[in-house]
Chains A and B, each alone.
Chain A
Amino acid sequence: MSTLLDIRNLGVTFDTDEGPLKAVDNVSFSIQQGEVVGLVGESGCGKSVTALGLLRLIPMPPGRFTSGEVFFEGRDLLRLPTDELRTIRGRRISVIFQEPMSALSPLHRVGAQLMETLQLHLPLDKRTAWNTSVDWLNRVGLPDPEAQMRAYPYQLSGGMLQRVMIAMALMLEPALIIADEPTTALDVTIQAQILDLLRTLKSQDASLLLITHDLGVVWELCDRIVVMYASRMVEEGPRRELFENPAHPYTRALLDSVLSLTGRADRLSTIEGQVPSPLAYPAGCRFAPRCPHAFARCHQEQPPLYSIADKRHSACFLSAPKKPDLLNPCPSEPLNP
């Protein structure tokens, strides 16, 4: 398996009236070919900005990159000329947005939007583009695709529109699909249909970056998980290891807050306090003010991302290697040497 996407030290800041807002701070992770990676965190943690940032889909200004490189098939997306980037967007990397209703144009028929995507990237005549679009709508399980091609987005339900979005994202057979909360706006029975569809991607050897706050969805689909908190990465690891043996106290707390469908505790375990404002992050570990294990050092320095096992990283001083080097007790090994 080869590395498809490699994000290194990505930093995105928005200049606001109240000062610079660090939305993404030093995020590094990679996606292998055919791998499904879940980017998990609560609202405002920077997961969507990370995903949109790597395709340069963030309005600049007010946004700007403060650091980082994003290597995709050997090229740095952040420094690519716009016309070259356009050949990658949609063709090699496509995005499924959360709100299909606002991602599609309300003034154009579904078919026209699908065909435009095809014809923009491939030398197809109208007839072939039409047939290919119908074929893909069929594949994503939309009933009566010929009729849906002639419909306007408002005539379709949310679940049907999300299928159109997925067809549009898959049509050009991209190497990477970024799905930003693809099922959050949908009902559970429709979500089950869409998850089933996304699962078939795995067999097509496409990589998927799935952004979600729903740990159940992550468990069902992902191979590897990246957890973010307050603009930074706190933990990374393969699904099963991370769920069964979380290293970072935040990951642990997040998993504890999942409500079981089968049992019932007397009291739910909670994370005290609130997420800090991105305009006023604490100096040390950003989770320290809410962390039950925090000690003095946590409030003073930011913990680096320690490597704790094969493919596993945790940004917590408690995850530091057991035998610290006395001269240099803290940073064990940088994530990307």
Chain B
Amino acid sequence: MPPLLQIHALKTWFPITRGIFSRTVGHVRAVDGVSLDIAPGETVGLVGESGCGKTTLGRTVLGLEPRKSGEILLGGIPLWPTRHHETLPLRRRVQMIFQDPYSSLNPRMTIQEIVTEGLLEQRLIRPRERADAAARLLREVGMEPSVLHRYPHEFSGGQRQRISIARAIAVRPELVICDEAVSALDVSVRAQVLNLLIDLRASHNLAYLFISHDLGVIRHIADRVVVMYLGVVVETGPASEVLDSPAHPYSRALISAVPVPFGESRKRTILKGDVPSSSHPPPGCRFHTRCPLALPECAVRVPVLEPITPGSARHVACIRKNEISDKSHDAKALLQGVFQ
């Protein structure tokens, strides 16, 4: 199956300006050369810590941030051409669900206006069909159509997120970008919304780019996982494989750091220090300043994202990936001292 979304060598840089003439003195390299495919109906989980560029990547795909270079293709068509009228049909195909259910709904619009605005804009319905369309959408997300004429402030966080989902699926998109869509919700409500997203994925054949820092959520919803660090992808592969046996030293540290109830304490790598600034990323491998396995060479050579073994679906950007993935005694000894 040809990919639905193709991202190739994408860069999104933000200028840092100084002085009264707003002279550009540098760039925040939020996304710095990311390539990624999403198949129709596939869910790709994008994980990483704050500042790694995962939100910027999602927003760039949606055309909310200008890209510096690289390509984004949707079904082979370049996304976000310069002429404005060409963007309308593309907007129908990609939608977004934002993190904060409080600021992402216009407080002055009724629920009916919110969920049908896209349909009217795309001329998919006539104005008089609004109420019917809105009622149908609300039922799809598990809400009563009687709330159509209410305003967002009357709803709880979980209900608002259902409204956001109804708005996103209204125009029958093929790809929905979920940026921390359940992170602001309490655990009891989070499960309800995740189940809804899983149901809608099946009934609408949706592909999700699911951005989250919560690895438990990613494990539950994603088919494939992409781990980002400082604007670049360090590891990708099937969700179960990456989360159960991460290969890149950063993925390992990230996954081992998640506190999980039940069971005994696991082996844990505690990374030293903070994530470096993305305006001056370290040379060579960006993780080498914090990496417990770094060699002198890591500070010089930029690792390439390559299959861990030829033909494998797992890709890792680390020059020591062969040593790490090797099951032999030497590899174990190498990791022993580091992962306590």
What is A's interface to B at a CB cutoff of 8 Å?
42-43, 143, 157, 159-160, 187-193, 195-196, 213-220, 243-244, 253-255, 257-262, 264-265, 267-272, 274-275
Given contacts A218-B261, A261-B215, contact A187 B50 (CB under 8 A): yes
B21 at interface (Cβ–Cβ under 8 A)?
Answer: no
Asked if B257 and A257 sit within 8 Å, CB to CB, the answer is: no
Asked if B189 and A189 sit within 8 Å, CB to CB, the answer is: no
Interchain residue pairs A-B with the least CB separation, the first 5: A259-B216, A216-B259, A219-B261, A192-B257, A187-B49
What is B's interface to A at a CB cutoff of 8 Å?
49-50, 156, 158-159, 186-192, 194-195, 198, 213-217, 219-220, 240, 243-244, 253-262, 265, 268, 270-271, 273-275
- How many whole Å from A276's CB to the nearest CB in chain B? 11
Q: Quick one: which of A216, A253, A265 contacts B261, CB cutoff 8 A?
A: A216
Chain B residues with CB under 8 Å of A189's CB are 49, 253-254, 257, 270-271
Asked if A188 and B213 sit within 8 Å, CB to CB, the answer is: yes
Can you add 19 more A-B contacts, CB < 8 Å, to A193-B271, A262-B244, A264-B240?
A42-B187, A159-B274, A187-B213, A187-B275, A189-B253, A189-B254, A192-B257, A192-B259, A193-B270, A215-B261, A219-B261, A219-B262, A254-B188, A258-B260, A260-B260, A264-B219, A270-B188, A272-B192, A274-B189
Q: Quick one: which of B244, B259, B261, B274 contacts A190, CB cutoff 8 A?
A: B274
Complexed CA–CA distance, A213 and B188 (Å): 11
Complexed CA–CA distance, A254 and B253 (Å): 27
Asked if A143 and B49 sit within 8 Å, CB to CB, the answer is: no
Chain B residues with CB under 8 Å of A254's CB are 187-188
Chain B residues with CB under 8 Å of A264's CB are 219-220, 240
Q: Quick one: which of A187, A215, A244, A271 contacts B188, CB cutoff 8 A?
A: A271
Asked if B194 and A268 sit within 8 Å, CB to CB, the answer is: yes
Complexed CA–CA distance, A57 and B192 (Å): 35
- How many whole Å from A179's CB to the nearest CB in chain B? 14
Chain A residues with CB under 8 Å of B216's CB are 258-261
- How many whole Å from B252's CB to the nearest CB in chain A? 11
Chain A residues with CB under 8 Å of B271's CB are 189, 192-193
Complexed CA–CA distance, A253 and B256 (Å): 25
Chain A residues with CB under 8 Å of B215's CB are 188, 261
Q: Quick one: which of A43, A160, A188, A268 contacts B257, CB cutoff 8 A?
A: A188
Complexed CA–CA distance, A191 and B271 (Å): 10
Chain A residues with CB under 8 Å of B270's CB are 189, 192-193, 196
Q: Quick one: which of A159, A215, A262, A271 contacts B191, CB cutoff 8 A?
A: A271
Nearest B residue to A42, CB-CB: B186
Q: Quick one: which of A217, A272, A274 contacts B156, CB cutoff 8 A?
A: A274
Chain B residues with CB under 8 Å of A42's CB are 186-188
Sample (14) of A-B pairs whose CB atoms are under 8 Å apart: A187-B50, A189-B49, A190-B49, A192-B259, A192-B268, A218-B261, A254-B188, A261-B258, A265-B220, A268-B191, A269-B191, A270-B192, A274-B156, A275-B156
Complexed CA–CA distance, A271 and B189 (Å): 7
Chain A residues with CB under 8 Å of B259's CB are 191-192, 195, 214, 216-217, 219-220
